[in-house]
């Protein structure tokens, strides 16, 4: 097999003025929830959940009487600063155009700050068979897997989403939702390796093995608190597929991380608070997310970012429609609208994450070539061929793996 080229993205021209803030998208719960609550949430289920965990039938999400035709409204919860904003600083042009075209008002709420935190808000309602007050929201892959497993999200009526055929080929069929019946990606990103050349003596850091064993980096490496990215990158470096790994594969990766921590190689595990230490050089190298690095490179273009040749994680935040949503059809029309390449190009030009919609690059090549040429926003086919999506977990696996990982993080 020919040697794979590792794409070095340190020299890419980052966009000069990125308006997005550094919002944590994929970290474990902190503060009042804490690790204990995270484990409890991973373990908790609902009526019907046990059947799925033991290989039985998947529980079905309840549907409400759809008011879409008479009540021209859709309620959408999303992460902060994850949509286009007018230059004046107020309003979202794409949403305003949706309302103008279809006559449907969007109540857009930026109240999705963390997957588990949001789940803790909506789960009691879903478990009790009550409306959450939301018609759609955007959850990360692994949370979508949990929601599908528990029967908390409804299948799409794809007749209302004819643009779903525009989904990028790499995202069309995922293990946790074969055929994309319950979810469609809103934005995507990679987890790879970021490094500060001033702290590495000018050396590039190109592999997970360097992070875990290079003596020159001892005590200057951070890994992510997001289990799927940290353990996923280590498993891929060990030659395993994160789309179809075994218990033994996962635990072998945990052992490697534990060994590196006990040797003093790792100074800590972080959410995206790695950004300031990385920029200052207090952290020499770390596992990092693309959106954060694009922003950091705008201020310090010398910062390096590499997607390892052994593989990188590809994650998405995805539209889902919860059980008992009162405006399901309107939510589907909203999703269809954003799967128009011209509309998605408008969003991507602002948020600078990976577009899930085919055709957006061609539009931005004309409108904003700096964004269109950035490999972190529009990765090549070669790069995408080495990206993997972490497989969905059963309820028992989620609890077991979270406990094993947290024992290393906090031990």
pTM equals 0.76
Q: Strand 105-109 relative to strand 184-195: parallel, antiparallel, unpaired?
A: unpaired
The reported pLDDT for the residue numbered 294 is 79
Alpha-carbon distance of 20 to 15, in angstroms, equals: 11
Ranked by mean pLDDT, the top range of 12-21, 34-43, 77-86, 244-253 is: 244-253
Taking only the tens place, the pLDDT of each residue in 328-353 is 999 999 999 999 999 999 999 988 88
The reported pLDDT for the residue numbered 117 is 86
Alpha-carbon distance of 332 to 195, in angstroms, equals: 41
Evaluate if residue 3 carries a pLDDT over 60.
no
Is residue 308 within 8 Å of residue 6, measured between CB atoms? Answer: yes
The reported pLDDT for the residue numbered 58 is 66
Taking only the tens place, the pLDDT of each residue in 41-98 is 444 443 333 333 334 456 788 999 999 999 999 999 998 888 999 987 779 999 999 9
The reported pLDDT for the residue numbered 81 is 82
Taking only the tens place, the pLDDT of each residue in 281-299 is 999 999 998 878 877 888 8
For residues 20-31, average pLDDT: 36
Taking only the tens place, the pLDDT of each residue in 178-228 is 999 999 999 999 999 999 999 999 999 999 999 999 999 999 999 998 899
- Domains (ranges, CATH) in the chain? 73-188+316-377 (3.40.190.10), 190-314+392-410 (3.40.190.10)
Evaluate if residue 31 carries a pLDDT over 50.
no
For residues 293-313, average pLDDT: 90
CA dist 32 to 45, 83, 125, 131, Å?
21, 28, 21, 25
Which is more confidently placed, 38 or 265? 265
Written as six digits, the tokens of 140 are: 């990360």
For residues 112-135, average pLDDT: 93
Alpha-carbon distance of 270 to 143, in angstroms, equals: 20
Evaluate if residue 134 carries a pLDDT over 90.
yes
Task: Name the average pLDDT for the chain.
Answer: 86
Alpha-carbon distance of 27 to 143, in angstroms, equals: 12
For residues 310-337, average pLDDT: 96
Alpha-carbon distance of 379 to 202, in angstroms, equals: 25
| Paired residues of 354 in beta bridges | 188
């Amino acid at each position: 097999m020919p040697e794979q080229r590792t794409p070095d993205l340190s020299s890419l021209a980052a966009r000069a003025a990125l308006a997005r803030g550094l919002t944590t998208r994929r970290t474990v719960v902190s503060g009042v929830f804490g690790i204990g609550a995270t484990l409890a949430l991973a373990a908790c289920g609902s009526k019907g959940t046990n059947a799925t965990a033991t290989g039985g039938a998947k529980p079905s999400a309840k549907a409400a009487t759809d008011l879409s035709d008479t009540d021209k409204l859709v309620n959408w919860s999303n992460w902060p600063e994850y949509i286009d904003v007018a230059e004046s600083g107020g309003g979202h042009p794409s949403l305003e155009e949706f309302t103008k075209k279809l006559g449907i008002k969007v109540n857009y709420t930026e109240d999705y700050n963390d997957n588990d935190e949001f789940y803790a808000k909506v789960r009691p309602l879903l478990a009790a068979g009550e409306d959450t007050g939301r018609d759609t929201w955007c959850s990360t892959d692994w949370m979508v897997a949990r929601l599908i497993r528990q029967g908390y999200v409804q299948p799409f009526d794809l007749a209302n989403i004819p643009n779903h055929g525009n989904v990028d080929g790499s995202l069309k069929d995922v293990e946790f939702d074969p055929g994309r019946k319950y979810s469609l990606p809103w934005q995507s990103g990679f987890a790879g390796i970021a490094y500060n050349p001033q702290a590495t003596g000018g050396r590039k850091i190109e592999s997970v093995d360097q992070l875990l064993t290079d003596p020159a980096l001892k005590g200057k490496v951070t890994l992510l608190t997001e289990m799927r990215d940290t353990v996923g990158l280590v498993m891929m470096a060990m030659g395993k597929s994160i789309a179809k790994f075994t218990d033994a594969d996962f635990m072998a990766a945990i052992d490697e991380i534990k060994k590196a921590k006990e040797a003093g190689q790792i100074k800590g595990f972080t959410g995206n608070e790695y950004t300031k230490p990385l920029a200052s050089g207090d952290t020499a190298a770390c596992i990092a997310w693309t959106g954060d690095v694009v922003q950091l490179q705008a201020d310090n273009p010398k910062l390096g970012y590499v997607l390892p040749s052994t593989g990188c994680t590809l994650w998405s935040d995805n539209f889902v429609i919860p059980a008992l949503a009162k405006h399901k059809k309107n939510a589907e029309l909203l999703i269809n609208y954003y799967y128009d390449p011209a509309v998605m190009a408008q969003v991507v030009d602002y948020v600078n994450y990976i577009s899930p919609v085919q055709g957006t690059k061609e539009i931005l090549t004309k409108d904003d070539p700096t964004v269109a040429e950035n490999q972190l926003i529009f990765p090549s086919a070669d790069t995408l061929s080495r990206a993997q999506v972490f497989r969905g977990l059963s309820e028992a696996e989620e609890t077991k793996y979270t406990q094993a990982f947290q024992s290393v993080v906090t031990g």
